[in-house]
Amino acid sequence: MNKRVLLSVIGLLVVAGILYRCHSGTEKDKEAGTEVEVQVGKIQRATLREYVTAYGWVEPEPASAGKPAGAAQLVPLTQGVLAEVTCSEGQHVDKGTVLFKLDSRVADIAVEKAQKATEFATANYERQQKILPSGGTSEKTLQESQQQLAAAQGDLATAKTEQSLLRVEAPFSGVITRILARPGEAVSTTTPLADLLDPSRLVASAQIAAAEISALHRGQSAEVRAEADAKPVEATLNYVSPAVDPKNGTVLVHVALPPDCGLYPGQFVTLRVVTREKKDCIAAPAESVFRDEEGHSVIGLVNRDKATLTPVKTGLRDGALVEVEGAGIKPGATVVTVGAYGLPKETKIRVATK
């Protein structure tokens, strides 16, 4: 019996020793602290912007006061038979260039006939003027010859006008994007002949929710992107519709694109209109700011090998940066970025090499 008691006591002492050693190790670990691997970034001064974002498409500039639209579908001014196509797809043409000719044989004969009649009437009128002082003609005959000349000149002008209607000219400088008719085809004033585009006059159009329109006005800067990773095209907001579409509660806007912007009609784009700009902000990497367990915005401020969670007040957020204010928050300060979420209030850190 005594032997059993002795063994039990020895067993209890062994267990107690093991527990003591574990407890001592834990206390030592706590004193040493746990080192957390993180990535860091810098607080900086920056210009931050607030945007209204929308999705739309590129299209030719609409017509405005004293200015034609940036694209047009060319049609004849009269009916007839298409005799000649003097342009090609992809060709740049200047304003006034003749692009299509209709059969003008009848009109040419009419012009020639009217031209000869005008020449005859002119010669007759000049002759009457010369012989009037010598009594070789009467005042009445002179007036009649003058009237005949005026009538002949009117007929010639009419014939030339009808002849000119058989030519289709470029209404503005641009590029022929499509040819839609061929020589020999009968055409009328509703027959499309070609599409003409001025690639230097494009806009990005989008429908923006009516609730956001109050922040928009003409002249605001904008960014247009065709792809998420593409370089943005700097543009200007030049039209905000005064009417809301009752079907979807949106308002149409146009953003004027610069010449040679590299975008094409029909291309899907993302628009960002700058509604607010704040210069010289103190900004931190957006990923460095998070909410703690109490719901407060905090940032891991680094001092040597320690990170301390510091409360901050956030402001404008622009891409990868967010405006911050708080104790110890100043340009050049180092903050935890990757690995910030879930950090204790103060902890040892090791900066990971990228």
Query: Where do the structural domains in the chain lie, given as residue ranges?
Result: 35-47+279-351, 49-64+199-278, 71-197
Mean pLDDT of the 319-333 span: 91
The answer on pLDDT for 21 being more than 80 is no
Residues β-bridged to residue 135: none
The answer on pLDDT for 268 being more than 50 is yes
**How wide is the angle at C-alpha 284 spanned by C-alphas 280 and 286, nearest 5°?**
125
86 — pLDDT class (breaks 50, 70, 90): very high
Lowest mean pLDDT among 16-20, 45-49, 195-199, 267-271: 16-20
Is 71-197 a CATH 2.40.50.100 domain? yes
pLDDT at residue 264, as a whole number? 94
pLDDT at residue 142, as a whole number? 87
Euclidean distance between the first and final Cα of the chain, in Å? 67
Give buried/exposed letters for 216-229 (b at 16+ CB in 10 A, else e): beeebbbbbbbeee
Q: Which CATH number fits domain 49-64+199-278: 2.40.30.170, 2.40.50.140, 3.20.20.70, 3.40.630.20?
A: 2.40.30.170
Q: What residues contact 139, with CB distance under 8 A and at least 6 apart?
A: 132
Dist. CA 58–CA 265, nearest whole Å:
5
Among the listed residues 240, 236, 273, the one whose alpha carbon sits nearest the alpha carbon of residue 257: 236
Among the listed residues 315, 307, 321, 316, the one whose alpha carbon sits nearest the alpha carbon of residue 352: 307
Residues β-bridged to residue 176: 196
Mean pLDDT of the 307-320 span: 92
Model confidence pLDDT, tens digit, residues 41-65 = 999 999 999 999 999 999 999 998 8
Greatest Cα pair distance, the chain, in angstroms, is 173
CA 50 to chain centre: 17
The answer on pLDDT for 101 being more than 90 is yes
3 — pLDDT class (breaks 50, 70, 90): low
Tokens of 55: 């999705």
147 versus 12: the higher-pLDDT residue is 147
Q: Is 59 helix (H, G, I), strand (E, B) or coil?
A: strand
Q: 35-47+279-351 maps to which CATH number? A: 2.40.420.20
137 — pLDDT class (breaks 50, 70, 90): confident
320 — pLDDT class (breaks 50, 70, 90): very high
The answer on pLDDT for 266 being more than 80 is yes
